[in-house]
Structure 1
Amino acid sequence: MSKQEKTITKNRRGRPATGLGILIGVRLQPDLLAWLDEERAKLDPAPSRPEMIRAILERAKG
């Protein structure tokens, strides 16, 4: 008899890849980051930082 092969895939952490869009990294100064967190806290449920930044950009876009 031959051995059975098992394929084990590990779960990936974080948000699933969409395959769309370009990843950018942004560094924020402490005062701007504090403002962002204050604005997030006003919403229920509070969005994540990336979600909040996307929402702000969408509003600015018009």
Structure 2
Amino acid sequence: MHRDLIHLRAPRFDEQQILAWWQWQTCEHIVDACKRFLHHDGWINFRRRAMLISYASYKLG
């Protein structure tokens, strides 16, 4: 990761944030909507998939 972006990561693993992500309660509306869509249809396009993975990687660590 680029050194200027290191501050974007959480300093430690937060189980509550992971649980909120799994329950579609992140307060990030687009992320929650993508999770709902994935659950409902069983498929999301590559942009939504990339956004969910980016959120999980950068925000949740």
TM beyond 0.5? no
Larger Rg: 1
Normalized against structure 2, the TM-score is what?
0.30
More helix as a share of residues: 2
Normalized against structure 1, the TM-score is what?
0.30
